[in-house]
Chain A
Amino acid sequence: MTERSAIHESHADLGARFVDFGGWEMPVQYSSVLDEHNAVRSSVGVFDVSHLGRFSWQGPDAVDALSQAFCNDIARLQPGRTQYTMALDQSGGILDDIILWRWSESLIWVLPNAANSDSITQICLDLAPGATAVDLRPMTTSLAIQGPEAPALLERLFGVAPKRGTIHHVDLDGAEVWVAGTGYTGERGGEVVVANESAALVFAAVVEAGAVPAGLGARDTLRLEAALPLWGQDLDASITPLEAGLDFAVSFDHEFTGKAALEAQVADGVAKHRVLFETEGRLIPRHGYRVRADVREGWVSSGNFSPTLGHGIGMAYIDGPPAGDLDLEVEIRREWHRARIVDRFLDR
Chain B
Amino acid sequence: MDFPEDLQYTAEHEWIRQTGTGLRIGITDYAQDQLGDIVFVDLPEVGAALERGAVMAEIESTKSVGEVYAPFSGTVLSVNADVVDEPELINQDPYGGGWLVELADVADDGDELLDATAYRALVE
Which A residues have a C-beta under 8 Å from some C-beta of B?
Answer: 28-29, 32-34, 37, 217, 221, 282-284, 286, 304-305, 307, 333
Report if B108 contacts A (CB, 8 A). Answer: no
Report if B110 contacts A (CB, 8 A). Answer: no
Other contacts beyond A33-B37, A34-B62: 19, CB < 8 A: A29-B36, A32-B36, A32-B37, A32-B91, A33-B61, A34-B39, A217-B62, A217-B63, A282-B40, A282-B87, A283-B40, A284-B39, A284-B40, A284-B65, A304-B62, A305-B39, A305-B40, A307-B62, A333-B58
Report if B115 contacts A (CB, 8 A). Answer: no
**Residues 15-55 of chain B, each 1 if its beta carbon lies under 8 Å from chain A, else 0:** 00000000000000000000011011010000000000000
**In the assembly, what is the distance between CA of A33 and CA of B65, in Å?**
15
Structural contact, A34 and B37, CB atoms closer than 8 A: yes
Which B residues have a C-beta under 8 Å from some C-beta of A?
Answer: 36-37, 39-40, 42, 58, 60-63, 65, 87-88, 91
Structural contact, B36 and A217, CB atoms closer than 8 A: yes
Q: Which of B36, B42, B88 is most buried by chain A, counting CB atoms within 10 A of its CB?
A: B36
**In the assembly, what is the distance between CA of A342 and CA of B62, in Å?**
22
**In the assembly, what is the distance between CA of A83 and CA of B15, in Å?**
53
Structural contact, B58 and A284, CB atoms closer than 8 A: no
Structural contact, A305 and B58, CB atoms closer than 8 A: no
Residues from chain B with a CB closer than 8 A to the CB of A333 are 42, 58
Structural contact, A305 and B63, CB atoms closer than 8 A: no
Give the interface SS of chain A, mostly helix, strand, loop or mixed: mixed
**In the assembly, what is the distance between CA of A333 and CA of B58, in Å?**
10
Q: How far is the CB of A214 from chain B (nearest CB, A)?
A: 13
Q: Which residue of B lies closest to A281 (CB)?
A: B40
Structural contact, A33 and B63, CB atoms closer than 8 A: yes
**In the assembly, what is the distance between CA of A121 and CA of B117, in Å?**
54
Q: How far is the CB of B84 from chain A (nearest CB, A)?
A: 8
Structural contact, B40 and A33, CB atoms closer than 8 A: no
Partner of A33, one of B58, B62, B87: B62
Residues from chain A with a CB closer than 8 A to the CB of B37 are 32-34
Partner of A305, one of B42, B62, B91: B62
Closest 7 CB pairs of A and B: A305-B39, A34-B37, A33-B62, A282-B40, A33-B37, A284-B40, A32-B37
Structural contact, B36 and A305, CB atoms closer than 8 A: no
Residues from chain B with a CB closer than 8 A to the CB of A221 are 62
Residues from chain A with a CB closer than 8 A to the CB of B42 are 333
Residues from chain A with a CB closer than 8 A to the CB of B61 are 33
Q: How far is the CB of B69 from chain A (nearest CB, A)?
A: 15
**In the assembly, what is the distance between CA of A305 and CA of B87, in Å?**
12
**In the assembly, what is the distance between CA of A37 and CA of B61, in Å?**
14
Q: Which residue of A lies closest to B62 (CB)?
A: A33
**In the assembly, what is the distance between CA of A57 and CA of B88, in Å?**
48
Q: Which residue of B lies closest to A35 (CB)?
A: B37
Residues from chain B with a CB closer than 8 A to the CB of A307 are 39, 62
Residues from chain B with a CB closer than 8 A to the CB of A283 are 40
Q: How far is the CB of B59 from chain A (nearest CB, A)?
A: 11
**In the assembly, what is the distance between CA of A37 and CA of B4, in Å?**
32
**In the assembly, what is the distance between CA of A282 and CA of B42, in Å?**
10
12 A-B interface contacts by CB (under 8 A)? A28-B63, A29-B36, A32-B37, A33-B61, A33-B63, A221-B62, A283-B40, A284-B40, A304-B62, A305-B40, A305-B60, A333-B58
**In the assembly, what is the distance between CA of A28 and CA of B63, in Å?**
10
Residues from chain B with a CB closer than 8 A to the CB of A217 are 36, 62-63
Q: How far is the CB of A199 from chain B (nearest CB, A)?
A: 27
Q: Which of A217, A282, A283 is most buried by chain B, counting CB atoms within 10 A of its CB?
A: A282
- A33-B62, A305-B62 known; A282+B36 contact, CB < 8 A: no
Q: How far is the CB of A237 from chain B (nearest CB, A)?
A: 27
Structural contact, A284 and B36, CB atoms closer than 8 A: no
Residues from chain B with a CB closer than 8 A to the CB of A34 are 37, 39, 62, 88
Q: How far is the CB of A282 from chain B (nearest CB, A)?
A: 5
